[in-house]
Each structure stands twice: as C-alpha cells, then as structure tokens.
Amino acid sequence: MKGKGNTLSKFGGTCSIIVGISYIVAGLSYLLVPAEQKAVTDAGAFLTSYAQNPLMSRIEEWAFALGAILALAVVLAISEKVRPVDEGWVRWTSNIALIGFAVTALQYFRYLAFYPERAAAYVAGDAATKAAIAANQSLVALDPHYWLVFGGVGLWFLVVNLLALREKLWPSLLAYVGIAGAAAYGLVVAGFVFRIELFITLAAAVAIILGPIWFIWAGMILRKTTS
C-alpha cells in the first residue's frame, strides 16, 4: 500500500505541475481573446469574431480541455492526502470535482469541434440562418452557467484547503491561495449566471496568478510525499 500511495502522489504531483502550466496558457490566452469573444450576451458578435480570429480562443480551449483531464489525477492525489481529516466532506466534494473536471474536458472539446463550423455557418448565412444559430448558441455548452465546471471544482478547492489549513497539511500560504482561487471560481459562476462579463474577466485575471501557483506548488509537495 505504501508503494501505491507514493505512485499516486508522484503521478498526481506531476499532473498538477502540468495543470498549473496549462492554467497559465489558458489565462493568458483569455486575456488576449478579442473582446467580442468574451461576450456572454451577444452570440452574433462572438461567432463573427471567432470566424475572423479564433487563435487565442482555440489555445484557451485546448488548454482547458487537456488540463481538465490531467486534473482528474490531481483531485485523486490531493483528496487522498486530505481524506483522513474529514472523510465525508473530502469524498463528497472530490466526487463533485471529478465530475466538474470531466464536464470541463467534454465541454471544451465540444467547443473545439463545434465553434469553427458554427462561426463559419453564421458568417456565411442569411438573416434567418444567423438568427437560428445565435438563438441556440448556449446549447453547445454542457454546463452553460458553469455550476460544475467552476462551481463544483471551486467547492472542492475550498474544502480541501480549509481542511489543510486547519490541520497544517501544507503551508498556510498555499491554503490561502487555494481559498482565494475557490472564491474566483465562484465569481466565474456569478458572471455567467447574472451575465456580468466583468466578473468573468476579473476571475480570469486572478486565476492567471493563483491557479498556476496553487497547482505547481501543490504538485511539488505531492511529489515529495512519502506515504
């Protein structure tokens, strides 16, 4: 069992470091995405802009999709480290986080597959076609308001970092970074639910700094773990 614990920690730690790098790529890409592609209220503007200049959005989508797959291993490794403190909360929120990251991967792979074709069809279509495509734009997302993608994952972040802070499982500063990251995730959900683009932009700016710090630092700790 000891060897298995070491393997999970080291593998999860390696994945966590890579996820941190993917967050840097996703965050920087989002900040460089044209303003029209950040719009949550104007599907037509988004599709028109995406058809003309999709590069930054495509990089962001790949980073989130691949990062989410690797993050599944991170959830397992971190949860195993924190589980003895409060098994009920850790098991429940880790399952939600696993679902959240799985939905994230599926959702962003859908974006990669569907957005180019939808954007091209929108630009080439007549008024009726454009209206029809814009009207069902939100159906591309599996989780349109990001309740699982950011909300569920953020809940797990909050729980494991609060427990780690209480029991001093890792440095207090790392735990505070994780708690702040959980708050940023909640801000993303609020931004999509209430259609406030400023919230999403602010959360992305915070995530660009805190996300990589937490994942890379946590990954280094996991790799040093000797269970």
The domain segmentation of the chain, as residue ranges, is 2-224
Look at residues 100, 69, 126, 73 and name the one whose alpha carbon lies nearest to residue 185.
100
pLDDT of residue 1: 40
pLDDT beyond 80 at 101: yes
* pLDDT at residue 203, rounded to an integer: 86
* Distance, CA of 218 to CA of 211 (rounded, Å): 11
For residue 77, pLDDT beyond 60: yes
Q: What is the DSSP letter of 42?
A: -
pLDDT score recorded for residue 227: 46
Helices (H) and strands (E) counted in the chain, each on its own, are 8, 0
pTM comes to 0.91
And the tokens for 210? 């805190």
Write the pLDDT tens digit of every residue in 3-45. 556 789 999 999 999 999 999 999 889 889 998 998 777 899 9
**Mean pLDDT along residues 121-144:** 94
Q: Where are the alpha helices (DSSP H) in 33-54?
A: 43-52
Q: Per-residue pLDDT for 86 more than 50? A: yes
Whether pLDDT at 100 is above 70: yes
pLDDT of residue 197: 82
**147 DSSP assignment:** I
